[in-house]
Amino acid sequence: MDTEYFQHKGINFASVIYSKERLEYLENEFQVLDDDVYIVTFPKSGTNWMMEILSLIHSNGDISWCHKVPNYIRIPWLDVCGPGVKLVDEYQSPRLFSSHLPIQFFPKSFFSSKAKIQMSVKYFTYKGVNFSPGSYSQESLNIAENEFQVQDNDVYIVTYPKSGTNWMIEILSLLRTYGNPTWCNSVPIWLRSPWFESVEGQSQMIDITPPRVFTSHLPFPIFAKSFFTSKAKIIYVMRNPKDILVSLFHFSKMVCHYKDPGSFEEFFEDFLQGNVLYSSWFDHVKGWMQMKTNKNFFYITYEELHQDLRGSVVKICDFLGKELHEAQTDLVVNNSSFKTMKENKMSNYSLLPQDRIDQTKGSFMRKGITGDWKNHFTVAQNEYFDTVYQEKMKDLNMKFFWEDS
């Protein structure tokens, strides 16, 4: 018999083991205890393996519990119907639970508790590109590519991760208010410019009024099709891929929907091979550079922003047709500095709960410098990177700002 699915807030669930009533109860009424531990996974990511590990930790390594009691009774499924519901409701503290729930459906009481989540992250692919189930779904990506309606006065900030995305959001936020920082100081950065391809972003963008500014990490081949018949504009921000690699390595340790990067040597190779979230930097840049002569496309580098922020702001204003007085331009520059953003809780992501970003493992805004790769690469790694870079970028026929440094 074919399994029937139903949708709950845009996500598919199997009706044989889930119900809307149970999902609503868990999200809004279930009471998380401070000593709870939750194993959260996308299916086939190592759930049962983690259940076995935590069972053995719970029993101080005594395997008799694992041999006598099925794992779904030792660590009940929080979200499924059937016998598991009674187990969940009657489980004695300290409690261990498993779940496949996306973050937006997870019990709200968790976020005001001291309970912990042990996540096992496995990326999925959409048309050959790696995405995290913690932020995206096949449906959200299909909506972004094929159904999302771009408006002529939209502006899209497009980047590969760790290229200066949030810096550009802050700049455009300040341009909108002519340098007045009130909006930036009172509204979280992810609400000012939602990610139009993410599950959460698609719920947030309902409240965005024109002219809209959206953010995206999407590669060129799967960007919103409606953009290419519109008058909307894209600002594409690039950065020295060596610095991206280093920044992404540290970032992956603290952001929960990223895979653990392993050692720097392992991550170094994964990055060059495109075995990371959003896949290949080389493909991302080469794809978007097909637009470089389009009048609605503007590209700039992190290094240019860093070297001459004021000059960069002026160029961005010219592209957007935004007129600012000298004093207003000064306000934009001063209020979008790394120091100002790092101290602004609406821009530094410190408001996000620990299950999204573990700030004990580092700061979201780490250094904000150029050339940090020199503190991490060995001579051999640098030479190897240059060889791969030259091979992959040889047909682009472009010279980038960082190639002179």
Catalytic positions, please?
Answer: 217
Tokens (6 digits) for 208: 């965005």
What secondary structure letter does DSSP report for 144? I
Q: How far apart are CA 33 and CA 113, in angstroms?
A: 7
Is-contact 136 278, C-beta < 8 A? Answer: no
Residue labelled with tokens 């408006």: 151
Q: Is 182 left (phi over 0), alpha (psi -120 to 50) or beta?
A: alpha
Q: How many of the other CB atoms lie within 10 Å of CB of 68? A: 9
Q: Which amino acid is at 125?
A: T
Query: What's the token pair of residue 195?
Result: 């990610």
- In whole angstroms, how far apart are CA 387 and each of 259, 382, 384, 391? 27, 9, 5, 6
Query: For the chain, what is the total number of helices (H) and then of strands (E)?
Result: 18, 11
Among 212, 193, 209, residue whose Cα is nearest residue 201: 193
What b-and-e string marks burial along 80-89, b requiring 16 or more CB atoms within 10 Å of the CB?
beeebbebbe
CA separation for the pair 38, 134 (Å, rounded) = 15
Would you report the helix, strand and coil content of the chain in percent, each value rounded to 5?
A: 45, 15, 40
What does the alpha-carbon distance between residue 145 and residue 151 come to, in Å, rounded to a whole number? Answer: 14
Other C-beta atoms closer than 10 Å to the C-beta of 194 total 23
